Structures are given as structure tokens and as C-alpha cells.
Amino acid sequence: MTYSEFLAKYSTDIWRAFFTHIELVLVSVGIGVIIAVPAGIFLSRHKGTAKYILSIAGVIQTIPGLVLLGIMLILMGIGKPPAIAALSLYAILPILRNTYTGILEVDGHCIEAARGIGMSGGQILFQVELPLAMPAIIGGLRLSTVYIISWATLAGMIGAGGLGDLIWTGLSTYETKFIVAGAVPAAVLALVANAVIGFFQHILTPRGLKLGR
């Protein structure tokens, strides 16, 4: 079977795996953002707690992907939910850490001036701290997304689908074409996501900051 015959035969499966993969990534990273950004803001106001939380998050990051998926499999069974739970946990740390440090790195004198001229806590957060921390936050998002695209290939093992499915099929049947059909789109997806988010990072960096560099 040539590659063109292979593609003709399996294109529907490949496309479905591809979109499932994107779905896994978007949902996991989305959950990661929803948890990590507010948590990062919270930690920037509670530096004492931050130390502990960040080291716990760091520990989660060091658990091998297969192990974490295995744990989720035991806890939640097979399918997408356990995979998304595991991937979301991985997505949190880079975003959390970057949100936290991004906010802390905002020039203290800006914050003092903001307070001094009568901005409320919320106004300082949304008009000063978050815009200035935005490049760092998006940087964390970019890192998370690229990681999750590659780790989502493992999710095929617990029946979540995605490009990992094709790779596992290929590995268990010694059929290289399946491996290629899973690995190449995953790699391309990672590269494209990196470029797209990089573009947004540039767009969302306040102009005044870009000029200063």
C-alpha cells in the first residue's frame, strides 16, 4: 500500500483524529487558563502561599505523562474526561508561573503611582498589572499549548482518541504509515500553534512596552 492509497483509505480517520486532537488541546489549555490566570493573580497577592502552591504545581509537572494518565484512568475510567483532566493539570503550571511572575515584575513605582492617584485594586489589576503582565501570561500559554499538543498523543492510550490513536495503532501493528500519519500532523500542529500564539503575544504586548525594548 503506497502513501497515497493509505491516505485515500484512511483520510476520514486521520481528519477525525486531527480534530479530536485539537479539541483535547483546546479544552485542556482552556481549563488550564481558567484555573491558572485567576490563581496566578491570587498568588501575586499572597506571596507566602505562592511558594507552596508553585512547588506543588512543580511536582505535578514532574509526574510522567503516562503515570498521570494511568492515575486518571483509575479514577475516571477511559475516554476523553480523564485525558482532559490530566492534560489540564499539565497546562496549569507554565501559565500559573508566568502570570504570577508577570504581575510581580510590574514596576512597583507604577503600582504606587496608580494607588496614589486613586485607582482601586480592580482598576490597578485590569488597567495596569494585567496589560503589563500580558506578554508573560501569553508566553506561558504558548509554552503550555506546545507541551499539551505533544502530550495529547499519549491520551490515545486511554481511549481519548486524537493523533495518538494513529501512532499507537502503528506501533502495535508495525505499520509505519500510521505512525507518520499521527506524528507529522502533531508536529505541524505544534509548530503552527507556536507561531500563531507568538503572533498574538506580539499583538497583545502593549505598544509602549515594545518601544521600550
Alpha-carbon span 80 to 3, nearest angstrom: 30
Alpha-carbon span 18 to 186, nearest angstrom: 8
114 contacts other proteins (rule: CB under 8 A): yes
Pick the closer one to other proteins by CB: 64 or 108: 108
CB of 145 to other proteins, least distance (A): 24
137 contacts other proteins (rule: CB under 8 A): no
Choice from 113, 184, 187, 191 touching other proteins (CB under 8 A): 113
Alpha-carbon span 96 to 39, nearest angstrom: 7
Pick the closer one to other proteins by CB: 48 or 208: 208
Alpha-carbon span 118 to 128, nearest angstrom: 13
Q: Which residues of 121-130 are buried (b: 16+ CB within 10 A; e: fewer)?
A: eeebbeebbb
Choice from 109, 172, 174, 203 touching other proteins (CB under 8 A): 109
208 contacts other proteins (rule: CB under 8 A): yes
| 25: enclosing H helix or E strand | helix 3-45
112 contacts other proteins (rule: CB under 8 A): yes
CB of 206 to other proteins, least distance (A): 3
Choice from 123, 126, 187, 199 touching other proteins (CB under 8 A): 123
Pick the closer one to other proteins by CB: 48 or 116: 116
1 contacts other proteins (rule: CB under 8 A): no
How many other CB atoms sit within 10 Å of the CB of residue 96? 28
Q: Which of 145, 138, 129, 144 is nearest to 204 (CA)?
A: 138
CB of 49 to other proteins, least distance (A): 24
Alpha-carbon span 30 to 32, nearest angstrom: 5
Alpha-carbon span 75 to 78, nearest angstrom: 9
CB of 16 to other proteins, least distance (A): 43
- Interface segment toward other proteins; rule CB under 8 A; list 41-49, 67-75, 120-128, 167-175: 120-128
Contacts with other proteins by CB under 8 A lie at: 107, 109-120, 123, 127-128, 131-132, 206-209, 211-212
